[in-house]
Amino acid sequence: MATTEAVLDTDSASLEAVSAYRRDGYIVVRNLIGPKLIEACVDGISGLASGRIARKTTEIAFEPGVDPSRLRPEDREDHIRKFAWYVDDSPPLYAAAMSRRLHALLDRILGTGRVLFQDMALIKPPKIGGAKRWHQDASYFRVSDPGLIVGVWIALDEATTENGCMEVIPGSHLAGPAVHLPELDVNECTIRPDLLRLQDRKPIELRPGDALVFHSLLHHYTAPNRSPYRRRAVQFHYHQVGMQWTSLEEHRRAFHDETGAYAGCTVQKGPVPAGKEFNYVGGGRIHDVRPTDWN
């Protein structure tokens, strides 16, 4: 599939960018957040990892096989897979989620009126950072309309093919919900291979402060990080006002295989290993969007 990638700054959101989001399922935004906020977000992540910043709501998941009790506080960050629910613990991370420039852009693409319902920091540590298999974010969310959800992935370090940048399949959101194969670890739930157009995959390399804005049905993936370089990013999910959280049965009507069996990612293959799951089923911690600037 040949597409012209929409790459823009946030001074204006052109009709071309709106069209590209609908056609491709994503747009790339350069310099969404500036150097001062990038630095403050990195400090926030490092402080939450080490314990220098108190974790009241923040949850942390380590890479498989890592025993955090054996790590010095200053070494923890290089063994963490992801953080969740941190915006109440870190003003800079909250500011990134509420970026005035971001929400002016989302207003143009999706219309006004949304809430933040999920915040994560995706930490793919040097040498040991694991892959995130091909999936659709909507497979994790029991919602009435996946089209009302948007994901925003903001790079805090340079994200390259070498250290595990995001890869996407342009236009894959247009095919609707895909059959996913559950696993014991919810992070390993993945789109059934025969439904992937891997010949069309596209790596999205980003500089610090750049962002990927993407549809909740877009097929996407990140490779392992076997490089010596960090690849830290923050990711936020928003839903437009009017979206509703629904039941497992309602989710099955969207995510099912040819037999009608459930094929989403909100039910694991078996018992969930301790510490391997975040709550994707409900609305998380809802925050009204209050656009702000960071100086």
Work out the mean pLDDT of the chain and round it to a whole number. Answer: 91
* Domain region containing 16: 7-63+74-273
In a domain? residue 1? no
Q: What is the pLDDT of residues 24-65, one digit of tens each?
A: 999 999 999 999 999 999 999 999 999 999 999 999 999 989
In a domain? residue 231? yes
Please tell me the predicted confidence (pLDDT) of residue 272. 57
In a domain? residue 91? yes
CA 281, CA 270: separation in Å to the nearest integer?
16
Looking at the DSSP assignment, which residues form a beta bridge with residue 222? Answer: 132, 166
In a domain? residue 106? yes
Q: What is the pLDDT of residues 136-185, one digit of tens each?
A: 999 999 999 999 999 999 999 999 999 999 999 999 999 999 999 998 88
Q: What is the mean pLDDT of residues 125-136?
A: 96
Q: pLDDT band for position 4 (50/70/90)?
A: very low
Looking at the DSSP assignment, which residues form a beta bridge with residue 288? Answer: 115
CATH of the domain at 188: 2.60.120.620
Q: What is the mean pLDDT of residues 97-106?
A: 95
Query: Is residue 78's pLDDT more than 60?
Result: yes
Alpha-carbon distances of 285 from 54, 70, 168, 202, rounded to whole Å = 18, 31, 27, 32
Number of structural domains, the chain? 1
| 106-110, 130-134, 161-165, 274-278: the lowest-pLDDT one | 274-278
| 53-57, 240-244, 272-276, 281-285: the lowest-pLDDT one | 272-276
In 86-195, beta strands by DSSP E: 114-123, 132-135, 149-155, 166-168, 180-181, 190-191
